[in-house]
Amino acid sequence: MSLTGHNGRIECVKFAYTDDFVYSADDIGIIRRWDLNSQTISSTFNGHMKSVRTLDFNPSGEYVASGGNDTTVR
């Protein structure tokens, strides 16, 4: 499987705990949520002004947080 859709360099990838999604983040501040069943982008998040360096979920898998080189957590 290959998922194509970022214009920037991929900085991190994280599988969701509770569903069939994977999240990817790039060096221009874009986060994408991919539906693994359909192999398509299901959501795009544009909150960071610089590279997204990390993604993680809360213990129940309900929320995802991102940390970026713009010194913010979203």
Instruction: Express each pLDDT in 12-44 by its tens digit.
Output: 999 998 789 999 999 999 999 999 999 999 999
Three-class secondary structure assignment of the chain: CCCCCCCCCEEEEEECCCCCEEEEEECCCCEEEEECCCCEEEEEECCCCCCEEEEEECCCCCCEEEEECCCCEC
Cβ atoms of 29 and 50 closer than 8 Å: yes
- Is pTM beyond 0.85 here? yes
Fold classification of 10-73 is: Thrombin, subunit H (2.40.10)
Q: What pLDDT does residue 14 have?
A: 96
d(CA 3, CA 17): 19
